Structure 1
Amino acid sequence: MNAFLKLPFLFSENRLLKDLKHCQSYSFTSHFNTNDYSGNWKSIALRSLNGDMNQIYAHSSGAHNYKNTPLLDHCPYFKEITALFECEKESIRLLNLSPNSKIKEHTDHNLGYEDRSFRVHIPITTNRDVHFYIDHQEVTMTVGECWYGNFNLPHRVENNGTTDRIHLIIDCIRNKWSDQLFAEVGYDFVAENQPHQYSKVTKLRMIEELKTMNTEGSKTLIDHLKLDL
Structure 2
Amino acid sequence: MNALKLPFEFDAEVIKKELSQFSKEDYQDIYNSSVMLETLWLIHFIEPIIGKDGLPIFLPNNALKKCPYLLSIFEMFQCDVETFRIHTLDAGASIQKHRDTGYSFEQGKIRLHIPVQTNDKVKMLVDDEAIPMKAGECWYCNFNIEHEVKNNSDQSRVHIIIDCLVNDWLTRVFNQAKSKN
Q: TM-score, normalised by structure 1?
A: 0.71
Aligned to 1:114: 106
- Structure that is richer in strand per residue: 2
Per-residue displacement from partner, 1:130-163 (whole Å, max 9, x unpaired)?
0110111000111101000110010000111110
Aligned to 2:31: 32
Q: For the Cα contact (< 8 Å) 2:60–2:71, is it kept in 1?
A: no
Aligned to 2:132: 140
Aligned to 2:40: 41
Q: After TM superposition, where is structure 1 displaced by more than 4 Å over at least 4 residues in a row?
A: none
Relative contact order higher in (CA < 8 Å, ≥ 6 apart) = 2
Aligned to 2:119: 127
Note closer, same or farther for the CA distance 1:150–1:14 as it changes in structure 2 (3 Å cut).
same
Per-residue displacement from partner, 1:179-208 (whole Å, max 9, x unpaired)?
111111128xxxxxxxxxxxxxxxxxxxxx
Gaps of 5+ in 1: 51-61, 188-229
Partners of 1:147 and 1:63 in 2: CA distance: 28
Aligned to 2:94: 102
Larger radius of gyration: 1
Aligned to 1:84: 76
Partners of 2:68 and 2:112 in 1: CA distance: 19
- Structure that is richer in helix per residue: 1
Aligned pairs, number: 174
Gaps of 5+ in 2: none
Aligned to 2:11: 12
Q: Secondary structure at the match of 1:23?
A: coil
CA RMSD of aligned residues (A): 1.9
